[in-house]
Amino acid sequence: MDGETLTWIFLIGGIILMALEAALPSGMALILGFSGLLVGVLRFLGLLTDPTTATLAWFLTSVVLTVGALPFIKKYFGGEATYKFADEDFEAMDQIVDVVEDINDLTNEGRIRFQGISWQARTIDGDVPAGSRVRIKYRDNTTWIVEPVDSIEPPTQQQKLKE
């Protein structure tokens, strides 16, 4: 391969990599393309004549630009990232849910519907019939520990009037 072909490979390859940054935004294609374009210009000006030296110059320029410019690019042109610590047990506490299968205190069997899914449940005190509402207290492995809502909520105004 003659020197002029290698120069055009660096120039065109650099332009293609820089254009590729629009399709694959990460900053790396831009850095590799810019260093290829720089080496191509240096070869065009006759400052880098040896193909091995040109390849080594492209590699070193890419490393220096990556170390130096990538933090800047990520800071000003990077996407937004948010993190949320999700504690599902904490978020489930005190949620009121429906009982879909009788919860029996003796056999520790029963099911509730929470977030559209049927879960195994145990009760803190007494039996809870299906169709009742319970409050989630905590989770023991995959079983929700619940307590009946009626026993912990004060009577409403309408209930007081009926009595």
Domains of the chain: 3-77 (no CATH), 88-148 (2.40.50.140)
| pLDDT digit string, tens, across residues 89-131 | 787 888 899 989 888 877 778 888 988 888 888 887 778 888 8
Q: Which of 1-10, 55-64, 128-137 has the lowest mean pLDDT?
A: 1-10
Give residue-wise pLDDT tens across range 20-63.
988 888 778 888 899 999 999 998 898 988 888 998 999 999 99
Chain position carrying tokens 């660096």: 10
Q: Do strands 109-114 and 117-123 pair parallel, antiparallel, or not at all (unpaired)?
A: antiparallel
Contact status, residue 79 vs residue 31, Cβ threshold 8 Å: no
pLDDT digits (tens, 9 = 90+) for 53-96: 998 999 999 999 888 876 776 777 766 777 777 777 787 888 89
Structure confidence at residue 160 as a pLDDT band (50, 70, 90): very low
User: What's the half-sphere exposure (Cβ side, CA atoms, 13 Å) at 77?
Assistant: 12
Number of helical H runs and strand E runs in the chain: 5, 5
- Do strands 143-148 and 109-114 pair parallel, antiparallel, or not at all (unpaired)? unpaired
Tokens of 41: 């210009």
